[in-house]
Homo-oligomer: A and B are copies of this chain.
Amino acid sequence: MPVEPNYFQQYQHADIDELADVIGELLQNPITVEDADHKLIAYSSHGESTDEARWSTIMGRRVPEKVLTRLWKDGVFQELLTQDDPVHIPAKDEIGLGKRVAIAIRRGSDVLGYIWAQEVNRPITREDDEILRQAARVAVSRLIQRQGKRKAEEQRRKEFLWELLLGNHSSEAVIRQKADTLQMQLPTSYLICIIEAAGARLDQYLYPLLMRDKLLWVVDGSQIILLIGLSEAKKDKSDVLIRKVEQFLADSLGKLEAHVTEGRQVIAGYGRDYKSYTDIVKSYREALHALKIKKLFPQENEGIHGYHELGIYRYLLQLKQWEEEQGYQNERLEKLRQYDRDNQTTLLTTLETFLDAAGKVNKTAERLHIHINTLSYRLRRIEEIIRVDLDNMNQRAALYLELKIAKLDGEQ
């Protein structure tokens, strides 16, 4: 293995702009240096041949949004965030992006920024990768200070989110003002989403996704709490927005479940969407509620994350508590349970399966592995024993509720 030369020996103390020029000279191509938030930090001054993406970046002092979106979509950033080596990116003419190479500037697992090298004057080969690796290493010290400031800001933003989650602020105006001083732009519509994983480094694994969507988040024990913005809530198109959340969750859970093979306890829930930021407490509580229900009824709520999708489960805990306060005990179900015990039957399970199948005898018999006439007999029996009319929606719904409430005791 040949010993690579130390390209930046004599530039250890050069400032960041000088460094960009040096890299540019070594690679004979235009260089751009950005921080983790894609704000322009430095760029090489030689050479006029520049594509539209670089031009816009320099003029706007930030990488244009559409370029970022595209690169996230193509998985470029995912690569950059997860590996130490330079990433070679083919040209993407639709967004005015020429062929280039990029590398992340990182300290430990933190990404401080990126170095971009355009390929215009000459191709950048694998041999040049070491130059970029060294350049990234040298750039670290220049970015650390900036990073410190950024971290402190991030920290203050997280504290602010906690305040919002706990409902410390009562006035919308005060919230907006504080958000301004923290240079946060609050989405017009938002919701709170919680992802919980047993013993996983949640923020670590989700980092690329969090960065991609520029989410505000805090970690609380084994939970990560996310403020997700629903940019434009046009008319009846809220469905589309919710589907974006579901997409995000699918991505996140997929990624996490790959990592957390052991307990595989990865669950997520989110509250309803609100516009006023005094309602953030509500959305948070709703997300927590959804999570709680998903733990209590995992099968019943598989694939469901939104509080608005919980159906009757939304009421269950409350109703349970109410029944207890009233000293109500369900005689009908107890009667069935007793009958089952006395006669070694399974009428209660039969009833639950029947109700879960929304009264479809076919589906019910199938799930229970019994003849359809057996089912019909059992249902008739149930109607006789607990004196109920299963064709009556009121009674059906009531029984359904009662059954699910009873399950909360683990009595089943």
Give chain A's interface residues, CB within 8 Å of chain B: 236, 239, 282, 300, 308, 310-315, 318-319, 322, 326-327, 331, 335, 355-360, 387, 391-398, 400-401
Contacts and interface: CB of A to CB of B under 8 A. Distances in A.
A398 B335 CA distance: 26
Given A239-B387, A398-B311, A358 B393 contact: yes
Nearest 5 pairs of A and B residues by beta carbon: A311-B398, A311-B394, A358-B393, A397-B397, A312-B398
Nearest to A395: B311
A358 B392 contact: yes
A356 B300 contact: no
A304 to B, nearest CB: 9
Nearest to A399: B311
A357 B359 CA distance: 12
A300 B393 CA distance: 11
SS of A interface (majority): helix
B357 A393 contact: yes
19 contacts: A236-B335, A239-B387, A282-B326, A311-B394, A311-B395, A311-B397, A312-B394, A312-B401, A313-B394, A314-B398, A318-B319, A358-B359, A358-B391, A358-B392, A358-B393, A358-B396, A359-B393, A360-B391, A393-B400
Nearest to A323: B315
Contacts of A310: 398
Contact of A401 (B300, B315, B359): B315
B311 A355 contact: no
A358 B389 CA distance: 11
Contact of A322 (B300, B318, B392): B318
A312 B397 contact: yes
A368 to B, nearest CB: 16
